[in-house]
Amino acid sequence: MEAVLTEAVALLDEAGDSALTFRALAARLGGGVGSIYWYVASKDELLDRATDHVVGQLLSDVQERTNGDDPVDDLRVLALMMFDAIVARPWLGAYFMRNSLLQPNTLRLYDLLGQQVLRLELTPRQSFHAVSAVVGFTVGTAADLGQEPPQEILDGRVGREEYLARFADMWRALDPDEYPYVHQIADEFAHHDDADQFRAGLDLLLAGLRQQAGR
Amino acid sequence: MEAVLTEAVALLDEAGDSALTFRALAARLGGGVGSIYWYVASKDELLDRATDHVVGQLLSDVQERTNGDDPVDDLRVLALMMFDAIVARPWLGAYFMRNSLLQPNTLRLYDLLGQQVLRLELTPRQSFHAVSAVVGFTVGTAADLGQEPPQEILDGRVGREEYLARFADMWRALDPDEYPYVHQIADEFAHHDDADQFRAGLDLLLAGLRQQAGR
DNA sequence: GTGGATTATCGAACGTTGTTCTATTCTGTG
DNA sequence: CACAGAATAGAACAACGTTCGATAATCCAC
């Protein structure tokens, strides 16, 4: 069982979403296809368990870093760690949203975020909304930014720099009257860093939360 | 071509993600499977075009509602319309993140959001981050909340109320010391409304943005 | 230690999917 | 009428998730 999950995760890490097939996994485990079905009832369940498996690792990393002075700072650290974990494993993002609250480790992670918010002493509704917002923003942004890059950048034919530069060039070539924002932002986009982008958005969200909590 | 996209969207709307197959689409169009490949090179392209097709409709709805007094209020309206569109079409969320900036209508929508942010007179970098944050939060949350509900709720065997109540019961049964937040939030969750949840999070984010812009 | 029940493994087979390929029909132009 | 390109059609292929019955390994009461 443990081996099944480990190899499944390894397969996902190495070649992404499409690499995890029952046949490939069986070959890797040195067994038959049917054997895997003794441990999991379907591919959906395999994915769910594999996801929760790595969330478990994230969880133990996270639990050491909590309980600082400021709840919002703690929240920030937790969100950043979640973000990093998803970016490091692009396949994670897509499955993070699915069934999230049914998997044990994910629920624990969710609660850990909630514990920080509880310290802000908001109303229950405000607490609920705050946690949902942080989770939604983190997972959504990470899944968006961490999506599998196109083939040409994956095998190193073109670097990230050049890839971004292409977009920037396309956008600069657009009519500034029709696309005033995209046209103006092209330079910024060409040299942007995903993690910076996430941190900036997260800080906006947390600033709003701070304001609501009166801190 | 137009008919292909229309029927593809209809198929997705009626029975979701898995219902859109080349064979089902061909049958619906009264033609052969191979014919579709004359219009689209792959299923990915079909999905991209179908997505951009409905974003086009959203775009024309959106363009009438813009240019209010307050840029942040406009931003709020735009984000809410995006959210509603994705919730109404759960399949949209998943494909919204993919290739978003390559599709013409999506790029235009992105620019429309950007135009509101430009009015706040932030630095280019701040503008870029603000738009990214709003888009990330909106799409991420909508995709998360708007995910396909499980089968039992889809065919009406159990209502939404009962479905949520089950979670609440499970959570109330947890050890309050181990899951203080989830335990406490159970009631709130049982009666929550997705749109409220989204609006509350969006308002936190926009409050942070307002603060940054000094308004 | 032996027999039966449970646990675990295996790979052939089935139905469905995206995609390719070749043959065929339609359409407009000289 | 002829012919080139646009457009359609469906058979065929490989890969996938899943099912199934046969078989091996392991355990446990007697």
Q: What's the pLDDT tens digit per position in B157-181?
A: 788 899 999 999 999 999 999 999 9
pLDDT confidence of residue A64: 86
Same domain, A60 and A143: yes
What's the pLDDT band for B58 if we cut at 50, 70, 90? Answer: very high
Percent of chain B beyond pLDDT 70? Answer: 100
B72 part of a folded domain: yes
Q: What is the C-alpha to C-alpha distance for residues B46 and B29, in angstroms, rounded to an integer?
A: 15
A173 part of a folded domain: no
Same domain, A65 and A28: no
Specify the range with the lowest mean pLDDT, choosing from A50-64, A143-157, B77-91.
A143-157
> Å from A215 to nearest chain B CA?
13
Give, as ranges, the nucleotides of chain C with any atom within 7 Å of a protein CB: 8-13, 16-22
Same domain, A88 and A2: no
pLDDT confidence of residue B215: 74
Measured N-to-C along each axis, helices B124-145 and A124-145 cross at an angle, to the nearest 10 degrees, of: 110
pLDDT confidence of residue A207: 98
Same domain, B18 and B66: no
At position B134, the amino acid (one-letter code) is V
**Is A155's pLDDT higher than 80?**
no
The answer to whether strand D lies under 7 Å from the CB of residue A23 is: yes
A64 part of a folded domain: yes
Query: A97–B144: do the CB atoms touch at under 8 Å?
Result: yes
Among B205, B206, B210, pick the best mutation site for testing chain A contact (most A Cβ within 10 A): B205
Same domain, A86 and A145: yes
> Å from A104 to nearest chain B CA?
11
Residues 6+ apart with CB under 8 A from B55: B103, B105, B106, B109
The answer to whether strand D lies under 7 Å from the CB of residue B30 is: yes
Same domain, A102 and A15: no
Residues B180-214: pLDDT tens digits?
Answer: 999 999 999 999 999 999 999 999 999 999 999 99
The answer to whether strand C lies under 7 Å from the CB of residue B37 is: yes
CATH number of B22's domain: 1.10.10.60
Of the candidates B133, B145, B202, B103, the one whose C-alpha atom is nearest the C-alpha of residue A130 is: B202
pLDDT confidence of residue A65: 85
Q: What is the C-alpha to C-alpha distance for residues B192 and B197, in angstroms, rounded to an integer?
A: 7
Point out the nucleotide closest to A37 (alpha carbon to C1′): D18
> Å from A31 to nearest chain B CA?
30
Q: What is the C-alpha to C-alpha distance for residues A16 and A93, in angstroms, rounded to an integer?
A: 12
Q: What is the C-alpha to C-alpha distance for residues B41 and B93, in angstroms, rounded to an integer?
A: 22
Place of tokens 């280019």: B124
The answer to whether strand C lies under 7 Å from the CB of residue A181 is: no
Residue from the list B130, B197, B207 with its beta carbon closest to the beta carbon of A208: B207
A174 part of a folded domain: no
Residue range A89-96: mean pLDDT, rounded: 91
Which residues of A fall within a CB distance of 8 Å from B146? Answer: none
**Number of structural domains found in chain A:** 2
B47 part of a folded domain: no
pLDDT confidence of residue B158: 86
Query: B201–A205: do the CB atoms touch at under 8 Å?
Result: yes
Query: A144–B145: do the CB atoms touch at under 8 Å?
Result: no
| Residue A52 CA distance to nucleotide D26 C1' (Å) | 30
Query: B179–A118: do the CB atoms touch at under 8 Å?
Result: no
A180 part of a folded domain: no
Q: How far is CA A205 from CA A48, A136, A187, in A?
A: 29, 11, 25
Residues B91-119: pLDDT tens digits?
Answer: 999 888 887 788 999 999 999 999 999 99
Q: What is the CB-side half-sphere exposure of residue B148 using CA atoms within 13 A?
A: 17
Residue range A9-25: mean pLDDT, rounded: 96
CATH number of B118's domain: 1.10.357.10
Same domain, B112 and B180: yes
**Is B131's pLDDT higher than 90?**
yes
Among B132, B138, B166, B202, pick the best mutation site for testing chain A contact (most A Cβ within 10 A): B132
Q: What is the C-alpha to C-alpha distance for residues B28 and A165, in angstroms, rounded to an integer?
A: 42
**Is B152's pLDDT higher than 80?**
no
What's the pLDDT band for B151 if we cut at 50, 70, 90? Answer: confident
**Is B149's pLDDT higher than 80?**
no
**Is A157's pLDDT higher than 80?**
no
Same domain, B72 and B24: no
B164 part of a folded domain: yes
Same domain, B140 and B186: yes
**Is B153's pLDDT higher than 90?**
no
Same domain, A31 and A74: no
Q: What is the C-alpha to C-alpha distance for residues A108 and A57, in angstroms, rounded to an integer?
A: 12
pLDDT confidence of residue A121: 96
Query: A133–B200: do the CB atoms touch at under 8 Å?
Result: yes
Residue from the list A98, A124, A137 with its beta carbon closest to the beta carbon of B147: A98
**Is A152's pLDDT higher than 90?**
no
| Residue B60 CA distance to nucleotide D8 C1' (Å) | 34
Query: B185–A110: do the CB atoms touch at under 8 Å?
Result: no
pLDDT confidence of residue B127: 98
B11 part of a folded domain: yes
Q: Is the distance from CB of A117 to CB of A127 less than 8 angstroms? A: yes
Mean pLDDT of chain B: 94
Same domain, B33 and B63: no
What's the pLDDT band for B2 if we cut at 50, 70, 90? Answer: confident
What's the pLDDT band for A199 if we cut at 50, 70, 90? Answer: very high
Q: What is the C-alpha to C-alpha distance for residues A198 and B132, in angstroms, rounded to an integer?
A: 8
Of B56 and B145, the one with more pLDDT = B56
Which residues of A fall within a CB distance of 8 Å from B128? Answer: 185, 188-189, 192, 197
Query: B144–A144: do the CB atoms touch at under 8 Å?
Result: no
What's the pLDDT band for B67 if we cut at 50, 70, 90? Answer: confident
Residue range A100-115: mean pLDDT, rounded: 93
Same domain, A65 and A147: yes
Residues A30-42: pLDDT tens digits?
Answer: 999 999 999 999 9
Domain of A8? 1-39
| Residue B109 CA distance to nucleotide C22 C1' (Å) | 43
